Amino acid sequence: MPLFSYHCTGCDTEFEALVIGADQPACPDCGSVELEKLLSRVAAEPRVPEPVGACSTCGQYGGCAAGRS
């Protein structure tokens, strides 16, 4: 899901918006499109715990040809 966080420079509101394709979100508060894109918490910290079985050779999870069988 392309969920992004934005900060409206017009009214100092932060909000999250689903942005699909080239959609331009607008502030839900004041309707401004003068927005700063913030790093989404979802994107910045994907909640993928390190699997115990990560390949020790290449660090890849799951699909490593060199490591796990």
Residues that bind Zn ion (CB under 5 A): 8, 10-11, 13, 27, 29-30, 32
> Residue 3 or 30: which CB sits closer to Zn ion?
30
Q: Report the nearest approach of Zn ion to the CB of residue 64 (Å).
A: 46
> Residue 23 or 36: which CB sits closer to Zn ion?
36
Distance CA 21, CA 30 (A): 23
> Residue 32 or 56: which CB sits closer to Zn ion?
32
